[in-house]
Amino acid sequence: MGKFVITKRTNGEFQFNLKAGNGQTILTSEGYSTKAAALNGIESVKTNSQDDNRYDRKESSNGKPYFNLKASNGQNIGASEMYESTSARENGIESVKKNAPDADTDDQTA
């Protein structure tokens, strides 16, 4: 089962990673100024992860596929790693869909 891990960046911002059951990071958030905002981001991932239209499939400047997960207002709520192929990117999206809704939250900032 997946989990959201909340950490604090060196600049004081909070961020979260969604990790799959095997511990691999499958989605990374932006930086948030408060823990409450990061927790709202997690709820947004849980809500929006089930809608395929929320996944913005992209390609980096070096040709590597990746995706962003967007909220209903169009704001980015998470980004994937760079993948070696479009099929690997699709597997990443499926992993977010599978892991996000029931994922526990592990707050490592407390």
Amino acid at 33: S
CA distance 13 to 18: 17
pLDDT in tens, 48-68: 999 999 999 999 999 999 999
pLDDT higher than 90, residue 30: yes
Residue 1 confidence (pLDDT): 86
Binned at pLDDT 50, 70 and 90, residue 34 comes out as: very high
> 5-28 burial, b for 16+ CB within 10 Å, e for fewer?
bbeeeeeebbbbbbbbeeeeebbe
- How confident is the prediction for the chain on average, in pLDDT? 96
pTM: 0.94
